Amino acid sequence: MLRDITIGQHFPGNSPVHRMDPRAKLLLTIGYIVILFVGSNPLGLALSTVFLVVAYTVAQIPLRLITKSLKPIVPILLFTAVLNLFFVPGDPVFTLWVFTVTWQGLYNVMVLTVRIICLIAGTSLLTYTTSPIVLTDALERLLAPLAKLKVPVHELSMMMTIALRFIPTLIEETDKIMSAQKARGAELDTGKLRERVKALIPVLIPLFVSAFRRADELAMAMECRCYHGGEGRTRLRKLQLGGLDFVLAAVCIAVFVLVGFSGALWGMLPL
């Protein structure tokens, strides 16, 4: 059950997308999100979708994973789709009792759905191909200028690294504790809401106890290695932009610019 969570999951590999500098990937992902909103016309979205499919293919990540990561947001998708379908004023297509479906509504639904899917799939690609540790490293480097404004950038990124590092551990632990309590007859996935909440106590208490124990052990281990914050700390792996990064970034930016102007191009098409 908990194993099915794919958001934030990482699939190690050696494709160009995997090898790309994480800072470049992070910035390009942000760029992609922006461009999805700028180029919210059929041509722009089609280009964005093609771009995504190509990126997934290059990264050797199966497209099936997209459907998996979309599962949790299906209700939101359906909700917005229904709202837009029936409540956008415009030229009617057909009327069903008091509901009227309009062309504008259909258009909105299409744009919205494709945009949300691209949004989720695009950001997922970042986490699929970049390990969380590397990602926070990139974030720390990108936010480094803020340290001048007394923002504790290193501490924040260390906290994030630790939090991300322990998500799989805690999921595994939760799985184990749930199994152990189920073995004693606990019913965790049936019953009414009240009963279910109550049934979680035998899982949550051992989980908290072990999380505190782990935090203690980690703090001890860090102190044993003389960890004293970010000042004067050097890195084992320095992030370095290489030829590959520039080539890939140039390709991406070219596509983004094209998508950015797709609105104007779409208007010029003789439709």
Partner 1 sequence: MSVIKVEHLTYIYGEGMPDATVALNDVSFEVERGEFLGVIGPTGCGKSTLITHFNGLNRPTKGKLLIDGEDIWAKPKQIRRYRFKVGLVFQYPEYQLFEETVRKDISFGPRNMGLPEEEITQRVEEAARFCGLSPEMLERSPFELSGGQKRRAAIAGVLAMRPEVLVLDEPAAGLDPEGREMILSQVKEYHKQTGATIVLVSHSMEDIAKYADRVLVLQGGEIAMLDTTAHIFARADELVALGLSVPEVTKIFLQLRAKGVDIATDVYTVKYGRDILLDALRRKGGDQHA
Binding site for partner 1 (CB under 8 A): 3, 11, 61-62, 64, 173, 176-177, 179-187, 201-202, 205-206, 209-210
Report the residue number, 187 or 216, with the smaller CB distance to partner 1: 187
Q: Helices 22-38 and 243-260, interaxial angle, to 10°?
A: 10
Pick 49 or 174: Cβ nearer partner 1: 174
Which is nearer to partner 1, 1 or 269 (by Cβ)? Answer: 1
We find the least distance from the C-beta atom of residue 57 to partner 1, in angstroms, to be 14
Please say which residue, 196 or 228, places its beta carbon nearer to partner 1: 196
- Helix, strand or coil for residue 215? helix
Q: Identify residue 147 by its one-letter amino acid code.
A: A
* Cα–Cα distance measured from residue 63 to residue 45, given in angstroms and rounded to the nearest whole number: 18
Neighbours of 35 (CB within 10 A): 26
Least distance between partner 1 and beta carbon 64 (Å): 7
Q: By C-beta, is 3 or 150 nearer to partner 1?
A: 3
Query: Contact 55/70 with Cβ under 8 angstroms?
Result: no
The least CB distance from residue 195 to partner 1, in Å, is: 12
3-state secondary structure of 133: helix
In the complex, the smallest distance separating the C-beta of residue 125 from partner 1, rounded to whole angstroms, is 14
Question: Nearest distance from residue 5's CB to partner 1, in Å?
Answer: 12
Closest to partner 1 by CB, 118 or 203? 203
User: Shortest distance, CB of residue 4 to partner 1, whole angstroms?
Assistant: 9
Pick from 55, 38, 30, 111: nearest CA to 257: 38
Alpha helices in the chain (DSSP H): 16-19, 22-38, 42-59, 64-70, 74-87, 103-129, 132-143, 153-183, 193-199, 201-224, 243-260, 262-268
Q: How far is the CB of 109 from partner 1 (least distance, A)?
A: 30
Nearer Cβ to partner 1 (87/208): 208
Distance between CA atoms of residues 226 and 213, nearest Å: 20
Tell which phi-psi region holds residue 92, choosing left (phi > 0), alpha (psi between -120 and 50) or beta: beta
